[in-house]
Amino acid sequence: MMDTIFGKIARGEIPADIVYEDEDVVAFRDLHPQAPIHILVIPRKPIRTLNDLEAADAELVGRLFLAARKVAEREGIAAAGYRTVINCNAAAGQTVFHLHLHLLGGRPLRWPPG
């Protein structure tokens, strides 16, 4: 697949405010936060979209969510509540084609979103 800015962040080639990383997952603050806490959790593996997930990625997806949970706890928003969002393709607003989970919190979040 085409390289993306998130691939470069995952490989440490461009800077980001990284809040968590392990062998499979990297989490960093969004450049244009939509909430007081807005963190992107990505797999190091470059998967374009949710549509491109394969059965073999099942454990990796679990790791993404476990990382999100850990970051939410560290950021102090676990008890109050937070939202996780994965945008898939253009109609959902996906702009970076490297799978990523948005972790949003730190203020009351409206539902449904726009």
- Is residue 96 at the binding interface for ligand 5GP, with CB under 6 A as the rule? yes
Residue selected from 24, 30, 57, 75 as contacting ligand 5GP according to rule CB under 6 A: 30
84 is a site residue for ligand 5GP (CB under 6 A): no
Choose, by CB under 6 A, the member of 5, 50, 53, 61 that binds ligand 5GP: 5
Instruction: Check if 32 is active-site.
Output: no
- Does 110 participate in binding ligand 5GP (rule CB under 6 A)? no
**One of 21, 44, 84, 87 touching ligand 5GP (CB under 6 A):** 87
CA distances from 74 to 17, 20, 28 (A): 15, 10, 13
Q: Which stretch binds ligand 5GP (CB under 6 A): 25-33, 47-55, 58-66, 69-77?
A: 25-33
DSSP state of 50: G
Q: How far is CA 32 from CA 7, 49, 85, in A?
A: 18, 21, 15
Residues 6+ apart with CB under 8 A from 97: 1, 2, 4, 48, 49
Distance of alpha carbon 31 from alpha carbon 33, whole angstroms: 6
Contact residues for ligand 5GP (CB under 6 A)?
A: 5, 16, 28-32, 40, 87, 93-96
Q: Which residues carry out catalysis? A: 100
